[in-house]
Structure 1
């Protein structure tokens, strides 16, 4: 199994009218899904679809920036305890909790604390279990996200805690539904490894009990994670198109509507 952590995006960079990464003081992984080439060669509209790590630490300057971007909706995939520990309530931002508990990662930490010795390969397997859980067990959460996207094209941000796993799968589904190539979806997914910075206090606390080689797997992304989700969806449904249609309710008509709403031209 390939355990490389720093695979670089394969697509050459292109000039864009906006920076993909939105610099905010309270997040490190807030970015725009605009500019990618989708169906019929049309590009994803800038400044409509954003993905991020959690939003609890936003400063007043950050909040002003989000208001200037017209971001008025936030989809929060975090579990209940995550939201309690790092909650937020920004007046202009309507929150929608689509709860996906981080059960596999919690299990990994519990096993370590109980004295079990996890290897990096074991941890990759646990992360793949997490992603396979997104495909079937949590399909309704992602279906709800698509229903929200179809209801309005008001700028929206979706996030979890680090903006890498639950958020990464959501971003992959949205981009695929808009006709973006699998290769570009991979590239967007791997950008997390360049952008996300775990909070120093969290890193210091975790390092006291969890080996760094395990943290490097848990706090980064690897293609085997995402590919395990694609593999299960295609095993169960045959193709990603059928998975989108049958599991998430995003068939040809819905994809055409998404294209009208979120692709240029």
Structure 2
């Protein structure tokens, strides 16, 4: 796994980069849809760890989650966010982002893909792949094992779970569009944030255990990336309008 260059970026700077994306991307762009979602949860994390000077007011939909160790939470949050921002930079520069992100970047302007699909496909890529690698990144920085990050991992997961509920409430078509929404409901009901979190924690522990076997760890990471990307492509199946 290649090291990232910006892993020491403070949480406030991460929030600022997401705000810039929010202000510059077209509102209907699939990456913009996910970015708005992720910006909301990152602001909430920033406030809880005491570095939210530019984060703005707490959204009514975010829970009151307190982090036991703000330093650990900040490290994990920044490394997590940088995985997404690095994928954005790669796509903007004409390079290939990780496989987990490619469906979102490839289909970001497809008229047959709904905002809810874009948002949850981004959550799938970020949790299913990026979060496991971010846990390992944070462990290396903090010189600790994944078990020592589990409390902060769970608190970030709690925020994301609330965010997923908000996404579905805000972006799911209303009752008058139930006939059109039926295939969308069927398509996305197969994905579970809770199951994705559990799989991510197992993947992070496995990668940490494989750190002395870099070839095996790289193969494991590639296969994880591909599997999450495949799931994301299914989530972005264009639907009849």
Q: Same fold (TM over 0.5)?
A: no
Relative to total residues, which structure has the larger helix share, 1 or 2? Answer: 2
